Amino acid sequence: MSTNTTTMDVFAKNDKISNIWLILTLLVSLFGLYGLFSVLINGHEAYGVTRTVPWGILISTYVFFVVSSTGLCLVSSMGHVFGIENFEVIGKRSIILAIFTLLCGFGVIALELGHPFRMMIYNVISPNFASAIWWMGTLYGIYLVFIIIEFYFLMNHNHKGAFYAGLGGFLAGISAHSNLGAVFGLLEARPFWHGPYLPIYFILSALISGSALIIIIFFVAYRSPSNMPEKVVKVLKSITKIFGFLIGILIFFDIWKVITSIYGAPPEKFEAVQTLLSGQLGVNFWLFEIALGMLIPFFIIIFTKGKNIKASLVAAISAVIGIFYMRYDLVIAGQLVPMREPAPGAHVQGALPNGLVSYTPSFTEISIVIGAIAFCAFLYLMAEKYLNLNEE
């Protein structure tokens, strides 16, 4: 165990990251400042959320970020926690991106919460242990501490330290993330979400997000497979296979979710799933969630047998875009069936003639989302450019 690290080991310039990308991502993230100022000036009136759809695109983007973070942590733990030697090369990059995606997720949810600072106080002095949001928030806080320590040990080549911090991060991450599923899954009022399905589904989709992002960030780091060391190519091929296999399982999950929601037209579940199959979320569902998120990456990996990692990159980018919409669909579809019949006098906000309600993200919300994603990419590119994230 060596902790005598010189700054040479921690910092190294990666010339493959061009300044143009850094500037570009920074400029796009400035767009998020528009959203930030808009909400600071106008308050939550600037959001498209309503009385009937209180959780909008900021919640789904938060979910997207923390799913990515958890997935990166879980997949990378195969290396330095579970000792699969090949996977050790992905550790540093996965964990630094896990930290950034989590921080950006926290940033987005801080803007969605009415009182983010009050949350930090009352989460501690007035905790409700029966609340899934309390557990989710607290466990993600603990998880953040673990992965920061883990990253520190990885940078210092302290394998034993990285193992313990990684194990802590793995346990906290998996508990936090299944609790995030439970935030939705515990709501008896919302049949589309209610049940044990979501905590399990969230872990599965986290692994998919993590695998896809790892493939993408290694292309960012090395630009093309020809620059990659043999070890990296090997691990990316393994990850591609896991990635394809997990998408297969996800397709299976989705098929049964849809069937159980339409068979016998169970009240409220049926109407919610119809918004995906043929309603207002139809394009999101079929084009983004199903085609880009599942079918395209699945068939790319099947037909290339996972051996062509350039093809894997296409599959990974497609899946990440699809997964972003998957989160949105999940969060919104669960709220589109109003809790009261939109009869005259009932004042059901956003009611449509078909008895459902609608939600459209506002420009402010969209700018925050785009800004946060761009800022996350900027942070990662900075880390990639100035830190030594290579394992060899």
Partner 1 sequence: MSENSRALKLAEANQKLANKRKGAKEKWGIVLDTSKCIDCKACTVACKMENYVPVGFYNYRIWVAEDTHYAKYPTVNRSFQPSQCQQCENPPCVHVCPTHASYKTADGVIMVDADKCILCKYCMTACPYDARYESHTTEAIDKCTFCYQRREEGKDPACVETCPPKVRVFGDLNDPNSEASRLLAENEYTVLKPEKGTRPKLKYIK
**What whole-number distance in Å separates Cα of residue 54 and Cα of residue 336?**
11
Query: 41 with 355: CB under 8 angstroms?
Result: no
Considering only 41, 84, 145, 339, the residue that binds partner 1 (CB under 8 A) is 339
Span from 100-108, 122-130, 163-171, 271-279 in contact with partner 1 (CB under 8 A): 122-130
115 near partner 1, judged by CB under 8 A: yes
* β-bridge partners, 387: 11
Is the four-CA dihedral 217, 221, 224, 228 of positive or negative sign?
negative
Residue 224 CA to residue 219 CA, distance in Å, equals 6
Cα Rg of the chain (Å, integer): 21
Opening angle at CA 83, ends 252 and 104, nearest 5: 65
Choose between 105 and 306: whose C-beta lies nearer to partner 1: 105
Q: How far is the CB of 366 from partner 1 (least distance, A)?
A: 19
Reduced to 3 DSSP states, what percent helix, strand and coil does the chain have, rounded to the nearest 5? Answer: 75, 0, 25
- The least CB distance from residue 136 to partner 1, in Å, is 9
Letters for 181-200 (x = contact with partner 1 by CB under 8 A, - = none) are --x--xxxxx----------
The site string for partner 1 over 126-155 (x = CB under 8 A, - otherwise) reads: xxx-xxxxx--x------------------
In the structure encoding, which two tokens stand for residue 94, read together? 């996965």
**Contact call for residues 271 and 338 (beta carbons, < 8 A):** no
When the beta carbons of 79 and 105 are compared against partner 1, the nearer one is 105
Smallest gap, in angstroms, from Cβ of residue 14 to partner 1? 40
Q: Residues 54-83: x/- map of binding to partner 1 (CB under 8 A)?
A: xx----------------------------
Position 119, amino acid: M
**Judged by CB under 8 A, does residue 160 bind partner 1?**
no
Chain residues binding partner 1 by CB under 8 A are 43-45, 49-52, 54-55, 113-116, 118-119, 122-123, 126-128, 130-134, 137, 183, 186-190, 334-335, 338-341, 343-349
